[in-house]
Amino acid sequence: MIQKILVANRGEIAARVMRTAAGLGIRTVAVFSDPDAEAPFVAQANESVRLPGASPRETYLDADKVIAAALATGADAIHPGYGFLSENAGFARKCEQAGLTFIGPPASAIDAMGSKLTAKKLMADAGVPVLPSAEVDGDTDLAAVAAKIGFPVLVKAAFGGGGRGMRIVREEAGLADAVERATSEAASAFGDGTVFIERYLDAPRHIEVQIFGDTSGNVVSLFERECSIQRRYQKIIEESPSPAVDDKLRAQLGEAAVAAGKAIGYVGAGTVEFVMDQAGEFFFLEVNTRLQVEHPVTELVTGLDLVALQIRVAEGAPLPAEVTDATITGSAIEARLYAEDVPAGFLPSTGTLHVFEVPDGPGVRVDSGVRTGSVVSVHYDPMLAKVIAYGRDRAEAARRLATALADARVHGVTTNRDLLVAILRDDEFLAGRIDTGYLTRHDPAQLGAQPGGLDILRTHTVAAALAAEAGRRGRATVLPAVPSGWRNVPTQSQLVGYRLGVTVVEVGYRFGRDRLHVTVDGEPVDVRLHAASATTVDLELSGVRRLVTIRQVDGTSYVDSVLGSTALVETPRFPDPEAAEHTGSLRAPMPGSVLRVLVATGSAVRKGQPLLVLEAMKMEHTVAAPADGVLTEMSVSTGQQVDTGQVLAVVGDTD
């Protein structure tokens, strides 16, 4: 029987494993990097061990440090979570050699699936349908290989997952660059830059099957999950069951997945992933030899605790009847809440979470790795939480999940929340007409734009101005009951400007003898104020009464109401003339580190030419020249850390 588990991971999955372990009476140990010292999962564990450093390579990916921490604390088992060392066969063997139980499949199964190329051959031999592919390296004739497979192709990392190290290529011209960038990204994220080329299906469905095996050779299917809503090849909304799978197709998928599991002697929780065309024909994609991020949707529709089952199987127990006889009841949908700027191209967002509150009412589950006060850094994946909803049917689950996300209060970083809510309420999604091209057909920025934008902007800017006024009066030591700006003889309104993205709004307000006078951008607005404090405003605007909450931090007002959420930045009344910058200045679109500098100062550059590459949260971002000209200044160097908005380079006119 396992007595103490070291969780070799971080964030929400570390917290998730610890929660189940505690319920089973098992002690837990956390390992943490320097940026994670104050993370919630560290406090949740019974003991914790620091892994000095910040990058994954020197902390969570260092197998020797992790095993040493387990031995030092007397742990007898290690749960790897997902990502990091979870699919590292060498780590599984080291655990065994150290006398530690690895809560996952045997190293041989990880080896078999560690390389997606080896996995495809094994699956083909087991009778599972696969797509044509080929490994490539520096000596490969890329054009010949791609021509044989047929365009479009997908350049893909042979190891790892999560959408990193992947590029779609539709013609020969961009193939070499795609291979180079995918190789670099894969080496950075997974420690191995091996990539291969595979035939790419345009807009297929992404269907995966949860499998579970025990040490007696039994492998069962726990049904499918639909994971087609993706950005950058990474899932953001998952559900079970799939709206495209009927009983017959479910049986076929399950049979193929079980055959895949038995072919590699699978033990524990794993996932067999498929791509499926519109006709229902499916092809093997990969086997994830670990627990998946989206495992909660399977738990909600089957009533099983997959982490508890992992632990029991690792202890040698056979699959119980509730697993072998499992059925699907109802529907569950999961949304991944990321710290990222959708209109800016899903660029990661960092900062301090001044408020993090996601309601977990009836039928709603929140698996989170952060809390109010947590710092979102550049070092790791930008996922803040998984929000999962269960319903009697798919429509009810979608409605519950959309409402929970819409009512969340997340202050301090930009998130993809509005996009998630919009997808969950979209008619096409609700009708089940989804595939991996969904966010290609629908512009994410437009889809995630809040409906009723004018009402939101008017209500929230007026509320922010009135809350700020109430806060000043609340702090006043002289005549605190007199409204701010009050005069015996009314003259003009007080003015305050707010910026939301590129939109600037000016609010004017004046407290008269009989009522409050308000203008928005000079236009009178019918407002009746019922109550106001520095944090809450109860106001009636154009005949509709709403309660608005406001939290002000460093010049930004985070405003929430039933209409939605906005972060309003107060504009300075007298701008600093010294703040003007040189024309052609390129600012960092995100925090991160400079991975490569591609052009030397003084060089002529063309519009769109890559100048440097940034890396943050395991993803690469290229900064390109905005116009033809000369690179007059390169302000950063390789390896340097940069902040959002920092000037990276300046491109001047050719003359």
State the Cα–Cα distance between residues 577 and 207, nearest whole angstrom: 56
| Whether residue 80 sits in one domain with residue 30 | yes
| Residue of 480, 486, 466, 646 whose CA lies nearest to 552 | 466
Higher-pLDDT residue of 220, 201: 220
The counts of H helices and E strands in the chain are 18, 40
Q: Is residue 298 part of a domain?
A: yes
Q: Is residue 77 part of a domain?
A: yes
User: Domain total for the chain?
Assistant: 5
Whether 550 and 347 have beta carbons less than 8 Å apart is answered as no
Full residue range of the structural domain in which residue 545 is found: 453-570
| Whether residue 123 sits in one domain with residue 144 | no
| Each residue's pLDDT tens digit, 578-598 | 545 455 678 888 788 899 999
> What value does the mean pLDDT take over residues 383-394?
98
Q: Is residue 342 part of a domain?
A: no
Q: What is the pTM of this model?
A: 0.86
Q: Is residue 314 part of a domain?
A: yes
Residue 591 has a pLDDT of 82
Q: Enter the tokens of residue 607.
A: 């519009």
| Whether residue 162 sits in one domain with residue 113 | no
| Whether residue 305 sits in one domain with residue 292 | yes
pLDDT of 354 above 80: yes
Residue 114 has a pLDDT of 75
Q: What percent of the chain has pLDDT over 70?
A: 95
The reply to whether 290 belongs to the active site is yes
| Whether residue 232 sits in one domain with residue 112 | yes
Residue 142 makes CB contacts below 8 A (sequence gap 6+) with 136, 172, 175, 176, 179, 197
Q: Is residue 51 part of a domain?
A: yes
Residue 200's SS3 state is coil
Domain boundary among 289, 311, 328: 328
User: Which helix (DSSP H) or strand (DSSP E) does residue 468 occupy?
Assistant: helix 453-475
Catalytic residue among 231, 290, 312, 417: 290
| Whether residue 557 sits in one domain with residue 598 | no
| Whether residue 610 sits in one domain with residue 464 | no
> What is the CATH classification number for the domain harbouring 51?
3.40.50.20
| Each residue's pLDDT tens digit, 603-622 | 999 998 999 998 876 677 88
pLDDT of 489 above 80: no
| Whether residue 147 sits in one domain with residue 180 | yes
| Residue of 111, 66, 113 whose CA lies nearest to 85 | 66
Q: Is residue 147 part of a domain?
A: yes
> What is the CATH classification number for the domain harbouring 169?
3.30.1490.20
Whether 112 and 122 have beta carbons less than 8 Å apart is answered as yes
Residue 582 has a pLDDT of 56
User: What DSSP assignment string belongs to 85-97?
Assistant: TTT-HHHHHHHHH
Q: Give the model's confidence band at 247: pLDDT under 50 very low, under 70 low, under 90 confident, else very high.
A: very high
- Give the dihedral of Cα atoms 573, 576, 581, 583; nearest 10 deg: 50
| Whether residue 136 sits in one domain with residue 125 | no
- Kindly report which listed range (111-120, 225-234, 347-356) carries the lowest average pLDDT score: 111-120
| Whether residue 220 sits in one domain with residue 166 | no
Domain boundary among 513, 542, 570: 570
Residue 264 has a pLDDT of 95
| Whether residue 123 sits in one domain with residue 256 | yes
| Whether residue 557 sits in one domain with residue 478 | yes
> What value does the mean pLDDT take over residues 431-438?
96
